[in-house]
Amino acid sequence: MLINYPVRFEAYGAVEIYELSRVQSLFSISSSGRPGGYNISSFRELEDVASSTVFIVPVKNEDLLALEGVLRAIPYYSPIIVVSNSAIAPFNLYKLELDVAKTIYRSTGREIIVVHQKDKCIADKLRDRYSSLIDDNSLVRDGKGEGMLIGVLLADGLGAKNIAFVDADNYIPSVVLEYSLIYYTMLSMSESKYKMVRIYWGYKAWMASQEFYYRRQGRASSTVNEVFNKVLSLKRRIETDIIKTSNSGEHAMSIDLARELVYGSGFSIETQELVSILEKCYVNVDRGLCPSLPGHVEIYQVESLSPHIHAEKGEAHVLEMILESISSIYHSQIPDDRGREFILKTLRELGYFDEPQPTRKYEYPKINPKELLDSILTESNLSIALGL
């Protein structure tokens, strides 16, 4: 893949946030380079970065056709971890997801791990050292963020150098392949140990009727991006619109960065990742809290060529995403008083007149991820590993 070099970045302490890069060619491998752009130099390099990148696919009661397409579209060289919170009773949808994974493994032999978020074995292994993740039923809490965090821990146990996320509701498999190539290219290009790549959808559409409407931004992203940029503008005293991917479910990062993040619960997860980086490496950079010092954290944003077509989940879902994402900003150290007032004004315009409730936060646990992975896969009756 040929992606143009970002033309500029903005620095916030030790954080470099790059303006949008764009895909210039979907497939380009050359050792001679291209003017103004970057591509991976050889098939061997592509295979190396792919095999060291573990894909995490969170899923909850999604269309099996969409899930199968997503899993088959991820390049063969990258291991996959599916973290499901789908129904087990009265109808066992999770069993069908396992069957999809088994069918893919039998036909390809690729590495796939499938775990269930409510697996008692996972909760038992995490309870003593990670009690905040466990609910009143002694199981891992519901929430997309909680599921993604389990995926990161298991990927760390696999020895991943990088992790990559794709949502399971993408109806066009080839789009997932494009995301994968974007991840590989930008992770290969970056010179920092602490790096992140976030996808900006060229267009976003949803399957709700016989007609498609292609939006330039998702409804949640457009609102949260505006809030994030306003808060940063007021903090820095320089207006910015640098944040384009506050709610990017499709993103990748080095495992070194993943271990340093403070994760958010539920739908706050993608926004909270940016909040966590900026708190450590911008707001508190003088206190030596930034893990990349004396270097920098690099955050790349890349506009995909393909549109993102997904299932329509309703207005309540969108408002929940907005509220949880904005809450992670509001209760952080980033906004000043004017920033918080702007957030409250935005929420009032959405019909929410109370101060947002803080979302749960999860530090990366100090556990041995390899032992966690091995114990789950040997003791669990719900989770399986194929091809390992």
pLDDT along the chain (388 residues), means of 10: 92 97 89 81 94 97 95 97 96 96 96 97 91 93 94 97 95 94 96 96 65 64 92 95 93 97 94 97 94 96 87 73 94 96 94 90 93 94 92
Query: In the beta sheet, which residues pair with residue 264?
Result: 361
The pTM assigned to this predicted structure is: 0.93
Backbone angles phi, psi at 143, to 5 degrees: 135, 140
Full set of structural domains in the chain with CATH = 22-386 (3.90.550.10)
Prior bond to 294 cis, omega within 30? Answer: yes
Residues in a beta bridge with 386: 112
pLDDT tens, residue by residue, 122-167? 999 999 888 899 999 999 999 999 999 999 999 999 999 999 999 9
Mean pLDDT of the residues in the chain = 92
- Which residue has 């320089």 as its token pair? 238
Q: Give pLDDT, residue 352.
A: 86
**Are residues 314 and 210 in contact, defined by beta-carbon separation less than 8 angstroms?**
no
The identity of residue 229, as a single letter, is N
**For position 84, what pLDDT does the model report?**
97
Q: Residues 6 or more apart from 20 whose CB is under 8 A from it?
A: 6, 200, 244, 301, 302, 303
- The pLDDT tens digits for 78-125 are 999 999 999 999 999 999 999 999 999 999 999 999 999 999 999 999
